[in-house]
Structure 1
Amino acid sequence: MPLPMYLTRLRNAISDFHTALEQFLNYQIALEENEPKRILYLAVPLDTYQTLHFFRHVLLKLQYKDIK
């Protein structure tokens, strides 16, 4: 995959993830009031998960490298 296409896909995946996370946090706050024992799960599209999963591993390696 060409780098510009990959970067666009990565930006879209990160944006999708942030949108989903924002909705998750809003629902979590509302549920804590009414149904505190209910477990809330975050669902994202598979391609978003796969892109972020790869990105997370790269990011963790870079962070670990900076700590050393």
Structure 2
Amino acid sequence: MSELQSRLLVAHEKDDRAGLIGLYTEAADRANDLIERSFFLTHAFVFALEAGDLRAPLLRERLREMGRI
């Protein structure tokens, strides 16, 4: 298991929404293909929406630029 995966699991266990947004965004930035990047960005976006986080519009725009929404 990678270090990033470990941090994601810990953030999920702690229900750390802000942390999850950042970690899923980081995972998307590290992803090597469009499907994987989309998966992680979608998760980051959903957590941002649920939390009312200011990063939600930026994440939405990234997904839109990728043709995912």
Whether the TM-score (by the shorter chain) exceeds 0.5 is: no
The one of the two structures with greater contact order (alpha-carbon pairs below 8 A, sep at least 6) is 1
State TM-score, norm by structure 1: 0.35
Q: Which of 1 and 2 has greater Rg?
A: 1
